[in-house]
Structure 1
Amino acid sequence: MSVRTIARKDLADAGRSKMLWVVTGIVLLSTAGITGLLAATSGMAAREVFALSFQLAVTMLPIVALILAKGAITAERESGSLRMLLSLPPSRRDVLLGKLIGRTALMLVATLVGGLATGLVVLTILGGSFSSLASFIGFLGLMSVAFVALGVGISAGSASDSRATAVAVGAYMILVALWNLIQTAIQYGAVELGLIAAGSEPAWLQLVGLFPPNRAANAAYRATVEGQFFGTDPFASVWLPILVLLAWLFVPVTAGYLRFRDAQIG
């Protein structure tokens, strides 16, 4: 059984459990539904609606991606099917990669459907360019994949599904819900310790603000809309947020694999 076979099986299992339709429905409601309401009632321009819709989406989609991915390994581990699967030719690395590809494909389908529906709503009601729609879908997709990778890494490194759920919810609270407060606390602490002057924002503090995938995706989208691809300020350009997002694609999965590789499967 190859990585491709495991990924295909994961997608098939998701389809039979109607997970694909549930995830797609949630994404549609959190993007196209809210955006349609804004476009029809707010009187804002298409660019402003896209920007606001993007900010709403980067708040909603991370928890969807994390919940979708957090059971990739632990669900099969608790059911006993993981032990049977590992008795066949695929290695633990193959299982992890297959699950990552399967959950990533599932989330990308949902994001693509939701993003297209959102864009069509905006373009139909307000007009605008398809380039805005492309960057809207592209960076939402990249952010969603980053959170799927985080969720799969959490699943691989957790001994039970309940623990994976707790860690995934905690990751969402820290990275999405509370990061502004965390960044403010870090800045306050640095001022109190005399590391920086009050009101200043050195490069390392700006990097702290860019650390979560949702904030990196928002920065990349904003820079793309403004045409700042390779500017002199990396924090106002596209390339640095993309590097942050790419790091989120690899680091959590690698860390999860290292724990999964040495774990005792009961």
Structure 2
Amino acid sequence: MSWQAIARKDIRDAVRSRGVQVLFLLLGVLSVGYAVAHTYLGENTFPAFLGGLTRLLAVALPVLAILVGYKSVSHERAGGSLFLTLSFPHSRWDYLVGKVVGRSVVLLAPTLVALAAAGVAGAFRYGTQGVVLYPWFLVATGLYGLAFVGLAVGLSMSTTVDRRITLGAFGGYVAFVTFWDGVHSLTMLVLHRFDGGVLSNLPDWALLFRLLGPAESYRRLVRAGFDVDLASLYVGDGTPVYVDWWMGVFLLAVWFVAPLVLGYRRFDAADL
């Protein structure tokens, strides 16, 4: 199929990139290194190790996903190679699918290998309690990474202006990873000015609002598989059903698909 040829080419080009090689070498060092460093940072149990690794990945993985994808299309448009690619029997839809599949493989293959190695090291050092559910952690991490691949590739399809792509990609990272908890807290404080009971008794919808952040959805999924101190607001008696683990999957899927749909609409209408 046409998109498969594009994906294979994209994977070969990315693998040859020295920058991509360095990034994922660093990810491997961070993941396996944390398995050793956790001895000095937290409780020496496998769930506690997993909680710390999740916090590390919640910050680091989106950066890798953005760097892998945010100029994946715009550089080819600016350099003219995209026009050459589409002169072959490839549709723009084939190009989108191939590019997304290629960048997803480039991100996930080394990430999952590094995390598998980190899991083995963690089980060896901290015991095997809960280790049987480690594949769930890998799935949750993969979905989290894909959410930012979708954001990055969607932005790269939407424009050829590097400044807009860079600001959009890393602005999205800052807003939805670094500051999302602060945005949620600020919103609750503003509402508290009008209703003094909001902070003492958070409404159910406030939990869903907090879960909209990709990092929070990721933590919710990890919390669903392991008894770790992550996203504990979403468990317990009286918690609404719409903040169960499946909502985390749904929201990460939306974060993956929505930017791609919006970016492709502009890409499909553009004069290349």
What is the TM-score normalised by the length of structure 1?
0.91
Query: Against the structure 1 CA distance between its residues 121 and 91, is the aligned structure 2 distance closer, same or farther, given a 3 Å change threshold?
Result: same
64-73 vs 122-131, which moves further: 122-131
Report the Cα distance in structure 2 between the residues aligned to 1:19 and 1:97, rounded to whole angstroms. 24
Aligned to 1:63: 63
Aligned to 1:2: 2
Aligned to 1:31: 31
Q: Which one-letter code corresponds to 1:8 in the other structure?
A: R
Aligned to 1:209: 210
Percent identity over the alignment? 28
199-208 vs 95-104, which moves further: 199-208
Q: Which one-letter code corresponds to 2:269 in the other structure?
A: D
2:241 to 234, 259, 264: 234
**What is the count of residue pairs matched by the alignment?**
264
2:252 corresponds to 1:245: yes
194-203 vs 246-255, which moves further: 194-203
The secondary structure found in structure 2 opposite 1:208 is: helix
Q: Which one-letter code corresponds to 2:246 in the other structure?
A: W
Report the Cα distance in structure 1 between the residues aligned to 2:176 and 2:76, rounded to whole angstroms. 27
Offset of residue 151 of structure 1: 0.8
1:23–1:110 CA contact under 8 A, matched in 2: no
Q: Which one-letter code corresponds to 1:136 in the other structure?
A: F
The Cα offsets for residues 231-262 of structure 1, whole Å up to 9 and x where unpaired, read as 97436632111111121221111111111111
The Cα offsets for residues 28-76 of structure 1, whole Å up to 9 and x where unpaired, read as 1332212321136645211111111111111111111011110111111
- Structure 2 gap ranges (5+): 229-233
Aligned to 2:75: 75
- Structure 1 gap ranges (5+): none
Aligned to 1:102: 102
Q: Which one-letter code corresponds to 1:255 in the other structure?
A: L
Aligned to 2:143: 142
Query: Against the structure 1 CA distance between its residues 234 and 31, is the aligned structure 2 distance closer, same or farther, given a 3 Å change threshold?
Result: farther
What is the TM-score normalised by the length of structure 2?
0.89
Query: Against the structure 1 CA distance between its residues 87 and 53, is the aligned structure 2 distance closer, same or farther, given a 3 Å change threshold?
Result: same
RMSD: 2.3
For 1:32-181, what aligned pairs fall within 5 Å after superposition?
32-39=32-39, 42-128=42-128, 129-181=130-182
